[in-house]
Structure 1
């Protein structure tokens, strides 16, 4: 019974409300998560397996050290999550669908009984995600993108917890650490109907924790991560600037729709040209090509929630003496306040921070 209740919870966490979602969506949520859990084996088993590739064993050893660091240095939960590993034989844990109007960066939302209303729908099969995307209003701009990890918010720790996955285990060591820290942070604080708060908090924990981890990592790990992070920062700066340009166009009351569409097209063209210029210095790295190829209002909006409140959370961390336990207590206190009060408090901590849309991590 306990297992059935937990699986039902995961379905509710991952699925939309009954008035907008059929039984098939609930079933794919349950079946997909069950298969993921069944594929997971304890890290120790993989390390003892002579057939396991040496490179995988090396990464799992690193992941085990990262997991211990999360508890001892970052005060993150000490539980079963990320103590097991699963090879899903695919490139993503889930595939998210996002959608937005042609002249707006506000995502369409779907409501979830546990997670609240968020701006995405997740599917375990890419084909299912694309089928749902194709079923949406053709006037909407739609994007489907892979997600390497997701959190069950600690509700599945009794059954083994959220596992390490092939979808992110081979990230550079610093990014692997950040991914684990980010997902564990969701088990510390999660607020219904406020993805911007949740994701910006988790991003703050991953950044702070990732920096501390790299201080103790090898020189090679720091070099590998620096290359990875340099590209990411440059790309995010470009997408952020483009998003602000688009927002200004859409909110300009002096412009008619035709003029807005023309300016939008020019902005997207500039974005792609600037990306090609950036990529020219990346020694052949093309990891952002899929985003650029599908770039539209939906994909730009889906990136917004992960950075906008981070300066405020970083200021809160400093206010709490850079003590992670005190920081988490302060965030929990904020999470209990009404959304408008939370946002006002965050703006007071970092006046330049912007309220982000309710969007998922790309």
Structure 2
């Protein structure tokens, strides 16, 4: 499950939840230090310092070559005591593949709640369990404040990634600050993923002094893409099977008994785990999909959590080709094509595929 690049918008919510998140965010801001000062003092581990030194060059590249607008973000650094900067909680219905969402001002519906404290996340999980939801809790290494406040760099962003992955994360999060479509979280994540990976390859090719093998990065990326496509096939397959199971369960009197229903559902989940490796046929080995769908660790929230990120890359590839294979043109074109609110998810993706409005690169705001 990928939690590394999720957006933390929950601090915009109202009520006690907002208060707790606001205090957490303020505590992070209080502890931030200018990156230049951290590098000069040379008191961090060398691996962290090496990544901090590439931040400014990567951001300059992202602005000039892609048209991203990171603003004043990533100028400061926050060392964390914990391995993750925050934790998220997701929930889904037990009797249908329906992911619970929460609505937030400005950004719209989001499929999770975020917490700066793991105990608070687990407390929320217990609350959702009592409300009869399936749940999922995961750590987050990076998030974006979407331009409302400057984002600092967190030590979790440095510690959980290789140098290429760190560069990719910087570009990914900067993309969220540049183009974000409220209510369409899957599109936002897929777009950021698509552009960040292509841009990282370009950046590594331009900077051999980093001693990072761009060919190896591309090989790993391509290997992951093959596994991703196969994983998507399996995801579609099991969702069709589970949807049919849940529809049939509505007519099955025996399944009105919750224990009997859940026991039968667990058999379905165990079958998903048992058949996963055979379906993937080894293409998942050495990729982020290697340990997906583990026995005893599957529920509707897990399945739908995967669905957020394993949606569509093909329409974005079409938009990229329609833009002459230039990321900066692609991004500007998408800003135009998506300037009015889509009617629904289908309309949004169709606009992406059809997006080929020629735009002068000089028109882009730097």
What are the ranges of 5 or more consecutive residues in structure 2 without an aligned counterpart? Answer: 1-7, 250-260, 355-366
**What is the deviation of 1:240?**
2.7
* Structure 1 unaligned residues grouped into runs of 5+: 1-11, 352-362
Aligned twin of 1:268: 273
Q: Which residue of 117, 120, 123 corresponds with 1:125?
A: 117
Comparing 51-60 with 39-48, which one deviates more in the overlay?
51-60
Deviation sequence 1:277-326 (CA, Å, 0-9, x none):
678x54xx999759747433212212323342332123222212234443
What does 1:98-117 align with in structure 2 at a 5 Å threshold?
A: 98-117=90-109
Size of the aligned set, in residue pairs, is 329
Query: Helix, strand or coil: the match of 2:71?
Result: coil
More deviation, 60-69/128-137: 60-69
Aligned equivalent of 2:307, options 304, 309, 315: 304
Residues 170-216 of structure 1: CA distance to partner in whole angstroms, max 9, x if unpaired?
Answer: 41222111111111111111222121222222222212212212323
TM-score (norm 2): 0.78
TM-score (norm 1): 0.78
Instruction: Name the structure 2 match of 1:3.
Output: none
Cα offset, 1:226, TM superposition: 5.3
Provide closer, same or farther for how the CA distance between residues 126 and 241 of structure 1 changes in structure 2, counting only shifts above 3 A.
farther
Using a 3 Å threshold, how does the CA distance of structure 1 residues 256 and 224 change in structure 2: closer, same or farther?
A: same
1:334 lines up with 2:337 in the alignment:
yes
3-state SS of paired residue (2:158): coil
- Whether the 8 Å CA contact 2:32–2:76 is kept in 1: the answer is yes
Does residue 51 of the first structure (1) align with residue 38 of the second (2)? Answer: no
Aligned partners of 2:34, 2:241: CA distance in 1, in Å? 51
Give the corresponding residue for 1:245.
237
| Matches for 1:151-300 after TM superposition, within 5 Å | 151-156=144-149, 161-170=150-159, 171-218=161-208, 220-222=212-214, 225=217, 229=221, 232-233=224-225, 236-237=228-229, 239-252=231-244, 256-257=248-249, 262-271=267-276, 282=286, 292=294, 294-300=297-303
- After TM superposition, give the deviation of residue 78 of structure 1 in Å: 5.2
Offset of 1:124 from its aligned partner?
0.6
Query: In structure 1, how many angstroms separate the alpha carbons of the residues matched to 2:105 and 2:299?
Result: 29
**How far, CA to CA, are the matches of 2:246 and 2:100 in structure 1?**
25
